[in-house]
Chains A and B, each alone.
Chain A
Amino acid sequence: MSEIKKFVYLNRKAPYGTVYALESLEVVLIGAAFEQDVRLVFVDDGVYQLTKGQTTDGIGMKNFSKTYSALGDYDVNKIYIDEQSLKDRGLTIDDLQDLTYEDEDDDWAEKSSINVVSREQLAELISEADVLLNF
């Protein structure tokens, strides 16, 4: 397939409590094989998906948070965090996992995949999408 589309995955929900975060991540990992222009957005409670130090022992759920750190290896390296959603929850970027990728165009230098964005930038990201998958 020669056509490349902008896929935006809009992650809006907490990692546990519902299955949407886990099953969104499964789509992202499978979708990575299609070599499209992929962006991941985390907004509202979705910002909790990327928090550090998640433990699920007490709730009997599978802890899939480590999978996010593999996204860079799948060439999924455009990750956008809504700044307002962090603020509303008393979180800062330091509460989130440090997701990185190796830039093949820059001698495989390790770079951050994470971009903190304003609501205006978020609106632009969404309006630019060819395919918007919201979870």
Chain B
Amino acid sequence: MKFALQINEGPFTHQASDSAYQFAKAALENGHEIFRVFFYHDGVNNGTMYGVPPVDDRNVQQQWSELADKHDLDLVICVAAAQRRGIMDEDEAKRHGKGASNIAPKFRISGLGQLIEAGIQADRLLVFGD
């Protein structure tokens, strides 16, 4: 089956991103396809490269980046939500006169249209969050 995932909460405060990650991993291991993972609301904070959780805990961002690297996942951060919350790639940082980007490897920034398209293209769109 072809899944799309929407993640609405940031890392650590909520388990939503962890649950989505576990789902994605299990789905891929069982031969399903993940069309796209879309990060919205505080979910965009999953894509910052500057998180340094304690070494005895999981690194939510890194888990996503590694899973994306292994399976060529499309990790999309909503641009409007990201601008409010300070998640930027090189282009965005330059455009808004910010010193540096902070987007983690394998994440990309794009528009809400990517969420709607995921809803259209996937057999199931699953929403993780409150």
Interface size on A, residues (CB 8 A): 19
Say which residue of A19, A27, A130 sits within 8 Å of B116 (CB atoms). Answer: A27
Q: Please provide the chain A residues from 88 to 104 with a CB less than 8 Å away from any CB of chain B in the complex.
A: none
List CB contacts (< 8 Å) of B79-130 with chain A: 80-81, 111-113, 115-117, 119-120, 125, 127
State the CA gap A7–B119 with chains docked (Å). Answer: 8
A19-B41, A20-B41, A26-B80 known; A34+B125 contact, CB < 8 A: no
**How many angstroms from the CA of A133 to the CA of B128 in the assembled complex?**
10
Q: In the bound complex, what is the Cα–Cα distance between A26 and B80 (angstroms)? A: 9
Cβ-defined contact, A3 with B120, below 8 A? yes
Quick check: is A59 within 8 A (CB to CB) of the other chain? no
Residues of B within 8 A of A61 (CB): none
Interface presence of B3 (CB below 8 A) = no
Question: B40 on the interface (CB 8 Å rule)?
Answer: yes
Chain B residues within an 8 Å CB radius of A5: 119-120
Partner of B81, one of A23, A31, A34: A23
Chain A interface mostly: mixed
Pair A1/B120 contact, Cβ less than 8 Å: yes
Which residues of A, 28-54, contact B by the 8 Å Cβ criterion? Answer: 30-31, 33-34, 36
Cα–Cα distance between A1 and B115 once the two chains are bound (Å):
15
A134 at the interface (CB under 8 A from B): yes
> Once the chains bind, are B116 and A30 in contact (CB under 8 Å)?
yes
Bound together, the chains give a CA A34 to CA B115 distance in angstroms of: 11
Q: Confirm or deny: B65 has a beta carbon within 8 angstroms of a beta carbon on chain A.
A: no
Q: Is A131 an interface residue (CB 8 A)?
A: yes
B-side residues, CB < 8 A to A, are: 6, 40-41, 80-81, 111-113, 115-117, 119-120, 125, 127
Could you write out 9 A-B pairs with CB less than 8 Å apart? Answer: A1-B120, A5-B119, A7-B116, A20-B41, A23-B41, A23-B81, A31-B116, A34-B113, A36-B120
